[in-house]
Amino acid sequence: MMRLLHFPQALRASMLGLLVGCVLLAPARAATLTVYAAMGYDQRLAQAFTKSTGIRVNLVHLSTGPLLARVQAEGNRPQWDVLWFDGNLAMREFASHRQLSCGWLPNARYTAQGRALQPADRCYFPVGVTYAGVMLVNAQNLPRSEWPKQWTDLENPALRGKVGMNNPAISGPTYPFVAGMMQHFGMQGGERFFERLKANGLREFPRNSVTLRALQYGQIDVAVVQSSAALGLVQRQSGLRVVAAAPSIELPSDIAIGTQVRGGKLQSARRFVQFVLSPAGQKVLLAGDRSADSNYQPLLAGVEGRPVLAKLAAVRPLVLNPDQWGPREPKVVSWFAAHVTP
């Protein structure tokens, strides 16, 4: 152990201050924030956050379905500090199982839409909005007279075998679309709707990227996918048209902190959330993945998204109640697998 008794008093005080500072700073430098995320821009956001704050981020990037499965598998031994993905239905379920830290409110200037999406218990925080299902039509293959305009148009015999969508058991954002149809048509009416689609040759694919590839290769002529993915492909390929049928089902992206996060790491996690909801963070989000997730409707005052998103929002939006539809997910997905999935 170093002895300080032989040093002048001023030097002793200086060295003691340095040692104390090292002790206080060492845990902060050693603590790395682990973020589980399923957003296309999450890597760029994590890099910008570290550059701004000096806080290191261990980013685990997965698509939504595998990410949710991983969180569920870890259960009461979570390896994550922050969760971030599309869909407040799953977030509500994690909150109900006391996996999320609740009660804190970030300093964010939410719009009226953003405030409406905030949960009363403050267990997670809305970041942006996409829409769980739009119809992307290959206008080069499908005559305009056969373009679907309403959801029930997908049942038309002219579209037999030409419609594809994601499997809700694999694709995280697809369950909210299925739930939205069941809320719109009624539970039994929604089930009959999807059964009629199956009878009309509905094709199923694992996720947005695979469904869109099937559209590009001519395996299908209409893809029902998340709006951000559809808008991203339209920017890269001509001959495609987005059709937004009523209702448009709002799909919020949400971010949350684990209930197990404590002390200095909790402060770092809150700084991460605050950065995501800051003008600087939103700038990264809007530019970080133009092919998909950057095509979202911001929920912060003064932050503007693409003008086309305002048109989607005007198509009679449907907002799912996460307290109602979150607990129903296992039953609905099981029904879909048994009655719709080939």
In one-letter notation, the amino acid at residue 199 is A
The whole-number average pLDDT for the span 201-209 is 95
Q: Is 273 within 8 Å of 116 (Cβ atoms)?
A: no
pLDDT per residue over 83-111, tens digit each?
999 999 999 999 999 999 999 999 999 99
**pLDDT score of 204 more than 70:** yes
Report pLDDT for 10.
42
- Distance from C-alpha of 92 to C-alpha of 323, rounded to nearest angstrom: 7
- Distance from C-alpha of 253 to C-alpha of 266, rounded to nearest angstrom: 21
Instruction: List the beta bridge partners of residue 258.
Output: 100
Report pLDDT for 209.
92
In one-letter notation, the amino acid at residue 144 is R
CATH of 134-249+326-339, one of 3.40.30.10, 3.40.190.10, 3.30.465.10, 3.40.1390.40: 3.40.190.10
Report pLDDT for 15.
38
Token pair recorded at residue 241: 């048209």
**pLDDT score of 8 more than 60:** no
Q: Taken in order 313, 317, 323, 325, is the CA torsion positive or negative?
A: negative
Report pLDDT for 310.
73
Mean of pLDDT over the chain: 90
Report pLDDT for 29.
52
Q: Is 309 within 8 Å of 297 (Cβ atoms)?
A: yes
**pLDDT score of 265 more than 90:** yes
The whole-number average pLDDT for the span 332-340 is 97
Lowest mean pLDDT among 9-13, 35-39, 281-285, 315-319: 9-13
State which of 61-65, 196-200, 240-244 shows the largest mean pLDDT: 196-200
Angle between helices 329-339 and 187-199 (to 10 degrees): 30
Report pLDDT for 234.
92
Report pLDDT for 61.
97
Q: How far is CA 107 from CA 158, 190, 259, 274, 275, in A?
A: 52, 40, 20, 7, 10
Whether cis (ω within 30° of 0) applies to the bond prior to 342 is: no
- Distance from C-alpha of 322 to C-alpha of 91, rounded to nearest angstrom: 8
**pLDDT score of 14 more than 60:** no
Closest CA to 41 of 61, 66, 69, 55: 61
Report pLDDT for 106.
96
More confident residue, 14 or 302: 302
What would the CATH number be for the domain defined by 10-130+252-306? 3.40.190.10
The whole-number average pLDDT for the span 278-294 is 94
- Distance from C-alpha of 262 to C-alpha of 267, rounded to nearest angstrom: 8
Angle between helices 174-185 and 329-339 (to 10 degrees): 90
Report pLDDT for 12.
43
pLDDT category at 129 given cuts 50, 70, 90 is very high
Domain ranges of the chain: 10-130+252-306, 134-249+326-339
Same fold, 10-130+252-306 and 134-249+326-339: yes
